[in-house]
Amino acid sequence: MDSKMIQIVEVGPRDGLQNEKRIWRIDERIRLINLLSECGFAEIEVGSFVSPQWVPQMADTDAVFNEIIRNKNTRYSILVPNAKGMELAISNNVQDISIFTAASEAFTQKNINCSIDESFNRFTPIIQSAKEHGIRVRGYVSCVVACPFSGDISSADVASVADRLYQLGCSEISLGDTIGKGTPESIDRMIQSVSERVPVSKLAIHCHDTYGTATANIDAALNAGIQTIDSAITGLGGCPYGGENAKGNVATEKILDLLEQRNYSHNLDRKKIEFAANFVREIQAISSPPIF
């Protein structure tokens, strides 16, 4: 990969919509993804195969996945939390999945009701099955700087979890500042620690813009060698189990501005990004009460 070429993973249809109060209809989700498919993303997260009881916004993800119009240059991934989700992925011919854990024991317990070690016990058969079916696996690590329940997280703990995911067979590890507490210094320090155990080319950065610092933190990540960024169109959503401060994925539009200011190359089409963003705002306006 060109050292100046940055890839963008659009997480709005999954990580964004899962935290929207209004549940988007299937046709609205399909329309959003079809618009995003024209924008030049390396990957689009379509949704997750999680129980609708826990995340009702992600119900019918299989129907969405099977109806979208695909761009041959874009990967379409599904988040898979367990063996049942993996069965759905295989039966729907999903070629890219993601799994998730955290560098915080408290967050893992709150989010998926198990310890970090137990989460890896769940992932091992999923990744083995993915290997058998030629499915690419992306790993998410939440709380790489701080946890809403237990405070600051050590970079060594992040590196340990990221390395375990890499050793299991994840082709890319996304490092998530879940509550947006990162600073350029803490992000750089964390990436330096992780990259001692996982090649930086296998890492991605996933910042929430809780305090308006995500672009500065992502800039630091780029300076540290990161070449893949997660973002969400219009800054949609965040983790529903991350506490009040978890809201606010960094907006894809902000990332586009940053890359162009820093003279990085990318494959995004600004006009098509704006078109997709306008669609999101139109849908959100439907569920928002008028202001008098």
pLDDT per residue as tens digits for the range 249-286: 999 999 999 999 999 999 999 999 999 999 999 999 98
How do 146-147 and 172-177 pair as beta strands?
Answer: unpaired
Is residue 101 domain-resident? yes
In a domain, 291, yes or no: no
CA-nearest of 25, 171, 14 to 79 is 14
Q: What is the rounded CA–CA span in Å between residue 99 and residue 81?
A: 6
Active site residue 114: no
Q: Tell me: the pLDDT tens digits for 21-69?
A: 899 999 999 999 999 999 999 999 999 999 999 999 999 999 999 999 9
**CATH assignment of the domain containing 205:** 3.20.20.70
- Could you tell me how many residues make up the chain? 292
Is residue 194, in this structure, part of any structural domain at all? yes
In a domain, 1, yes or no: no
Tell whether 2 is covered by a domain: no
Number of domains into which the chain is organized:
1
Catalytic entry in 143, 147, 207, 239: 239
Task: Tell whether 11 is covered by a domain.
Answer: yes
Domain that residue 261 falls in:
7-285
Stated pTM of the model: 0.94
Distance CA 247, CA 210 (A): 6
